[in-house]
Amino acid sequence: MGPSTVGPMGELIVLRHGETEWSRGGRHTGRTDVPLTPRGEDQARSLPSLLEGRRVVRTLSSPAERARRTAELAGLRVDDVDPDLWEWDYGGYEGITSAEIREERPGWFLWDDGVIAGDAGHPGESVRQVGERADAVLERARPLLADGNVALVAHGHVLRVLTARWLGLEPALGRLFALDTGTLSTLGAEHGRPVITSWNVPSR
């Protein structure tokens, strides 16, 4: 699928939530609602300096408390809590590090090999399913860009997939876009074609 042509518009402001204990330890954090660490809150409080001069007409947030708290500390009012902005459902790998997974599955790589099913609360998702959710978010966000910038506050992997889809790439190519906690990125257009206008800018 190639990138679609877009007209004059605002940008998508992509914010990954601040640090949590699990993100600091490299544990896969999908649907478990882990709060921000003190450092994560500091990261979020520093985001307004990156938002300065950017008029945000709408803010969409993941339902996770760590995302909503990041938006609040960044000075953004959440207009819509969007379930499609939840992080990748890691299934049976929830709370486990990549190193621990590779003890059982040598060479395992999330973007290529996916996850295994977990319990009822963590059934797991394929990268294609995450891509379908990202497409749904973009479908809702694109019309809003006619009025200005739209902020999306969510998680590392889902935002990487969303970026790939913005560019017209396959969902698994989200692996190309490393994204740290407490960062701001922007997605816009050049000559009517979707582009990344900034990426992984730290809050401090």
* Residue 94 bears catalytic tag: no
Note the maximum CA span of the chain.
50
Name the catalytic one among 11, 19, 41, 87: 87
Alpha-carbon gap, residue 17 to 71, rounded angstroms:
8
Active site residue 87: yes
Rounded CA separation 90/93 (Å): 5
Joined together, the tokens standing for residue 165 give 């889809």
Instruction: Give the position of tokens 């990549």.
Output: 98
**Residue located via tokens 């300096």:** 49
The candidate with the shortest Cα–Cα distance to 73, out of 58, 85, 61, is: 61
Q: Which of 17, 122, 155, 157 is the catalytic position?
A: 17
Q: Nearest-CA neighbor of 33 among 46, 23, 41?
A: 23
Token pair in block for residue 186: 């922007």
Cα separation, 34 vs 1, in Å, equals 35
Active site residues: 17, 87
